[in-house]
Structure 1
Amino acid sequence: MSHPHPDLATPPPLEKGALRVTPLGGLGEIGRNMTVIEHDGQLLIIDCGVLFPDDHQPGVDLILPDFESVLDRLDDVQAIILTHGHEDHIGAVPYLLAHKPDIPLVGSQLTLALVEAKLKEHKITPFTLGVREGGREEFGTFDCEFIAVNHSIPDALAVFVRTEAGTLLHTGDFKMDQLPLDGRITDLRAFAKAGEEGVDLFLTDSTNATVPGFVPPERDISSAIDKVFRHAERRIIVACFSSHMHRVQQVLDAAQKAGRKVAFVGRSMVRNMKIAAELGHLHVPDGVLVDVKKLSDLPDDKVVLICTGSQGEPMAALARMANRDHRIDVGVDDTIMLLSSPIPGNEGSVWRVINGLMRLGAHVVHSGGSERVHVSGHAAAGELLYVYNIVRPRNVLPVHGEWRHLVANRDLAVATGVHPDHIPLAEDGVVVDLIDGRARIVGAVPAGYVYVDGSSVGEADEEMLKDRRILRDEGFVSVVVVVDSTTGKVVAGPEITARGFAEDAEIFNQVRPKIVAALDEAASKGATDVYALQQVIRRAIGGWVGGKIRRRPMIIPVVIEA
């Protein structure tokens, strides 16, 4: 579905002196974050991320925002501001810059380093501008001030945008850890100053709006990790996001205490940790880090592996280990630590990997168990209430979350005194205008999924994915029949080939006479067109398979004229 809101018309041209916000991703879903801001004929983009596919999108590598509504206006884009370096905020940048490589990228030092490494793989050399918290830059008509926020990756930023039409504060992803590992807290004083100046539209992270209270400090995890290290008998394999430098730091410190060596597994993990170390965000204790190729020289009780795959991604290292499709064989009494919580929608994949690892005899420690080995990077309801009371926004647009998260965030804003009529609930593609201090929904633009499928971008569609799901779930049947080109009578076949069926192939002998009879009947009525005969075959075998075997396979009828 390319247009998620057929009830909403295309938005009218933006009124003079108004501010327009168009989310192209991240609203109604976790991922694919991208927001376009328009004022006075100019555009500013905040984030440009990807969404990772689920079981309903077999074969898809990545899901991008739909750039259609901005492609013919790329010359109007003053900058792309990246709030932090997670894939759901930077992963789609190469695909947008493929259309116009010189759009300025703005972000913190670490964020730009991560996106530059990604762009290098796409052979794109970007124009970048590094900014820091407290800094202020003008991009055309947009006056942007950057604010430090605490998240599960260092160097994250919120952005306060001033325009003649009003002000906008976008938190990015944030939480309010008061004892962060790097000492960099969310700058509530800067939020308060923005509130005193006046925030006309507040775009705030909704991911944990349904979670009461406050997110525990990252430091609380260290003792749990140390405990696992003390009791582990053999190898320890740690899975986490390749961008989670804080968690990797805690593992490195625990390994040093336990006298273990650490190796990074996977290209993204190696690349990102190298960048983090070079920029001072990761401190590797002397002698702890070794090359993965040298692990065979060490006893099992002196080894730690840090890899990707904590979300059950099928091609990530941990899932391949669970399937015995990796050079590292998981053995009995190995300890596996999943240092993340499942992203909504990934729960089934994560449990599948956990079950596979436990079947191999490994001990699996995860966020759903008795040990707290992960805390979220997103503000819970108590923290959001604090921020609402500090900022006192005039209008609120909840972002970054599924519908239930957006609704919960709306309710928190109402509880702190924001009028419900000033909190538009929008999804991807829904356009919100700020006019005379009031935010309203004014229309919608296309914001469907754009699939990266191998080397193709945007060519895979829902019809293709439906075919893949049928092939995966229901099987495949091909029927080849030779007919007389004049009479349409069957002269050879039908030859039936089936794949994905538990039943013996001989069962299809039952349907051959039915196919011949259906074709003879069609021929007697004058049907000789190949396409018409193919449809006759499809109906005959489809009805039989549905009634007899209770399946709805993909059916490929082939009619050859002789």
Structure 2
Amino acid sequence: MSKPLLTDQIQTAKPAKKPRPSAPPVRIFALGGLGEIGKNMYGVEFKNEIILIDAGLKFPDAEMSGVDYIIPDIRYLLDNKHKVKGLFLTHGHEDHIGAIPYVLRQIQMPIYGGALTIGLVRAKLEEHRLLDQSDLHVFHEDETISFRHLSVHFFRTTHSIPDAFGVVVETPYGPIVHTGDFKFDFTPEDKPADLHKILHIGGRGVLALMADSTNSERDGFTPSERTVGESILRLFQQCPGRILFATFASNVHRLQQVVEAAIRTHRKIAIVGRSMEKVFVIGQELGYIRVPDGMIIDVKAVNRYRDDQVLIICTGSQGEPNAALTRIASGAHRSLQIHPEDTVIFSSSPIPGNTQNVNRSIDLLMRAGAEVKYGSILDIHTSGHGCREDLKLMISSLRPKYFVPIHGEYRMMLNHKDLAMQVGVPENNIYLMNIGNTLSLFRNYARKGRNIPSGDVYINNGELRTHEKELLEERVQLAHDGVVIVAITLQRETGKLLSGPELITRGFVYMQDSKPLLRRGEAMLRKQLNKAGEQREYNRAAWEQMTNNTLNRYFKRELGRSPYIMPSIMEV
């Protein structure tokens, strides 16, 4: 017979610890796309396998001088190359595929996507001379790609580009679903979203859902693309002269609608812009863009036709400085100029940060005599992202245990969290994550895990610039306060000042009007340098630091500004 426990032993007994899980977690992480628009890249990891979803870029804002693109920092993937099983693409927009050439230079892996997506990736890799070392696969919506622990399959969605898919990663604890960019369009231009399959996946039980948050602030459902096609035709019928139509090159459904409107209004089509030309070629090869023979003409032949017989489809809907429409608006295009009765149609909404560029293009076009139509005036654009009712329908259909809002700025993700709660997801099961956070999922619970390396990598002239933050800060300072160059000549052995200091400014003060200010600064610095030369042994770094400190204090006191000080010391 066992001894009974004493009362004081019962009172002092420690509570039992929660048992640690014996199996490893499934981890979700993002290297881009959280708290921002663009740069989408997500991962699902279990044991020695990582499934990547998308590898996109984003465009720099106005303060990022000299930066062409921004892509995700993939240090974590480089440290775990042996785990990466493949990159699965939801669709072919740049914010989902634009980083692929730069990632592929560092990690070799198979890439899977829909037919159009892989077509666009192939053209991109060919341009970067990486096609020979790529491993591209077109998947089918009923296909499953299996690895040792994880497997991947797909469901069709509706977006502003064909061949858009959601990605399902099957894990030992249940499926993890990534929606990609989507909306529910019940009168689509292409194949509809596979709602039956989405409901079937939800009926089996979804462990976690990662869903697009872009339009979580907009009420209702996103309007159908069909309404845009009807508006485009009505608008074409009203235009007396040439039509210049600007939209995203990747918006293939919109391009087909424009072709059909051109057929109905008996217009020839000229295509302007390298990316637009590329998409037309790929879209025609895959059957997404259908143009009658003889309808497309060379841009140089436009003037052979009457103005009311011409449609020009071009890039530049975002006011990009080097895009075709921007060059036409500024009079810099070698083949096209604005005619008095031209109608220019912007069939897109400005991406956050591009509004100023778009408005500048519109003003230039109007000054040149064109009539300009844009989205806020007529229904000539609709979003490819679901609004609040679309998002609630997706969450309700998939019924996830855990929910992670993705693809959007923080306020969008926060709104998406509220929508998920409205349709029954418990608040404790919703995780608002940042880039570099990880979420560890087990069969019956989830918790935030350790962070992984993350950040931005800048692309400048095709080169990776990982540590460019300091350079950008310097460029902002130069733009804001200008630069003061300090020319000094001294004797190397003794540090004796031979000539100078002479102050030369660029972008700081106008030298002709500021000579007294600069001469006083020179005299004060000369006094400091001579004093230092008498008291201590010459040290170049110390002199440069003294020059910076002395002039910064002086200009801050005199003008309240801090220009970038650039000492130029010549030793003889």
What TM-score comes out, normalization by structure 2 length?
0.90
Does the Cα contact within 8 Å between 2:62 and 2:353 map onto a contact in 1? no
Alpha-carbon distance, 1:204 to partner: 0.8
Cα distance in 1 for residues equivalent to 2:111 and 2:21 = 25
Q: Please point out which of 129, 142, 148 is paired with 1:140.
A: 148
- Aligned partner of 1:361: which letter? G
Which one scores higher on RCO, CA 8 angstroms, separation ≥ 6? 1
Tell me: CA distance 1:77–1:361, structure 2 relative to 1, closer, same or farther (3 Å): same
Give the corresponding residue for 2:548. 538
Alpha-carbon distance, 1:465 to partner: 1.1
Q: Please point out which of 289, 298, 303 is paired with 1:291.
A: 298
Give the corresponding residue for 1:265. 272
Does the Cα contact within 8 Å between 2:484 and 2:504 map onto a contact in 1? yes
Cα distance in 2 for residues equivalent to 1:502 and 1:458 = 32
Give the corresponding residue for 1:109. 115
Give the corresponding residue for 2:520. 513
SS at match of 2:279: helix
Cα distance in 1 for residues equivalent to 2:365 and 2:213 = 33
Aligned sequence identity (%): 38
Does the Cα contact within 8 Å between 2:484 and 2:508 map onto a contact in 1? no
Q: Please point out which of 169, 181, 187 is paired with 1:173.
A: 181
CA offsets 1:453-477 (integer angstroms, 9 cap, x no match) = 1142134511111222233333232
Cα distance in 1 for residues equivalent to 2:321 and 2:529 = 47
Give the corresponding residue for 1:118. 124
Q: Kindly report which structure 2 residues correspond to 1:109-508, keeping only aligned pairs within 5 A, or say none.
A: 109-124=115-130, 125=132, 126-182=134-190, 184-327=191-334, 328-368=336-376, 370-459=377-466, 461-483=468-490, 490-501=497-508, 503-508=510-515
Q: For the pair shown, which has the larger CA radius of gyration, 1 or 2?
A: 2
Does the Cα contact within 8 Å between 2:54 and 2:89 map onto a contact in 1? yes
Cα distance in 1 for residues equivalent to 2:363 and 2:549 = 41
SS at match of 1:481: strand
Q: Please point out which of 24, 42, 47 is paired with 1:40.
A: 47
- Aligned partner of 2:260: which letter? D
Cα distance in 2 for residues equivalent to 1:485 and 1:48 = 53
Cα distance in 2 for residues equivalent to 1:113 and 1:131 = 12
Cα distance in 2 for residues equivalent to 1:561 and 1:100 = 47
Which ranges in structure 1 are unaligned for 5 or more consecutive residues?
1-12
Tell me: CA distance 1:320–1:499, structure 2 relative to 1, closer, same or farther (3 Å): farther
Alpha-carbon distance, 1:559 to partner: 2.4
Alpha-carbon distance, 1:292 to partner: 1.4
Alpha-carbon distance, 1:258 to partner: 2.0
Give the corresponding residue for 1:9. none
Cα distance in 2 for residues equivalent to 1:322 and 1:437 = 59
1:16 aligns with 2:16: no
SS at match of 1:382: helix
Does the Cα contact within 8 Å between 2:216 and 2:415 map onto a contact in 1? yes
Cα distance in 1 for residues equivalent to 2:184 and 2:458 = 35
Q: Which moved more, 1:305-314 or 1:551-560?
A: 551-560
Cα distance in 1 for residues equivalent to 2:120 and 2:348 = 20
Which ranges in structure 2 are unaligned for 5 or more consecutive residues?
1-19
Cα distance in 1 for residues equivalent to 2:478 and 2:268 = 45
Cα distance in 2 for residues equivalent to 1:521 and 1:472 = 29
Q: Which moved more, 1:493-502 or 1:415-424?
A: 493-502
- Aligned partner of 2:97: which letter? I
CA offsets 1:58-108 (integer angstroms, 9 cap, x no match) = 11111111110011222221111111111111111111211233x111111
SS at match of 1:274: helix
Give the corresponding residue for 1:56. 63
- Aligned partner of 1:97: which letter? L
Give the corresponding residue for 1:3. none
Tell me: CA distance 1:508–1:185, structure 2 relative to 1, closer, same or farther (3 Å): farther
Cα distance in 1 for residues equivalent to 2:448 and 2:412 = 19
Alpha-carbon distance, 1:419 to partner: 0.4
SS at match of 2:206: coil
SS at match of 2:505: strand
Cα distance in 2 for residues equivalent to 1:312 and 1:545 = 38
Cα distance in 2 for residues equivalent to 1:38 and 1:148 = 24
Tell me: CA distance 1:223–1:551, structure 2 relative to 1, closer, same or farther (3 Å): farther
Give the corresponding residue for 2:564. 554
Alpha-carbon distance, 1:543 to partner: 4.2
CA offsets 1:483-530 (integer angstroms, 9 cap, x no match) = 455775644233333223573534144322332233223422425433
CA offsets 1:128-162 (integer angstroms, 9 cap, x no match) = 22212222221332222211101000011112221
Tell me: CA distance 1:351–1:549, structure 2 relative to 1, closer, same or farther (3 Å): farther
Does the Cα contact within 8 Å between 1:253 and 1:285 map onto a contact in 2? no
- Aligned partner of 1:56: which letter? E
- Aligned partner of 1:263: which letter? A
- Aligned partner of 1:191: which letter? I
SS at match of 2:567: strand
Alpha-carbon distance, 1:227 to partner: 3.0
Alpha-carbon distance, 1:21 to partner: 0.7
Does the Cα contact within 8 Å between 1:79 and 1:139 map onto a contact in 2? no
Give the corresponding residue for 1:529. 539
Cα distance in 2 for residues equivalent to 1:20 and 1:549 = 54
SS at match of 1:263: strand
Q: Which moved more, 1:201-210 or 1:528-537?
A: 528-537
Cα distance in 1 for residues equivalent to 2:79 and 2:284 = 40
- Aligned partner of 1:531: which letter? A
Cα distance in 1 for residues equivalent to 2:560 and 2:264 = 59
Does the Cα contact within 8 Å between 2:456 and 2:466 map onto a contact in 1? no
Tell me: CA distance 1:396–1:278, structure 2 relative to 1, closer, same or farther (3 Å): same
1:91 aligns with 2:92: no
Q: Kindly report which structure 2 residues correspond to 1:64-83, keeping only aligned pairs within 5 A, or say none.
A: 64-83=71-90
Cα distance in 1 for residues equivalent to 2:107 and 2:21 = 24
Does the Cα contact within 8 Å between 1:478 and 1:498 map onto a contact in 2? yes
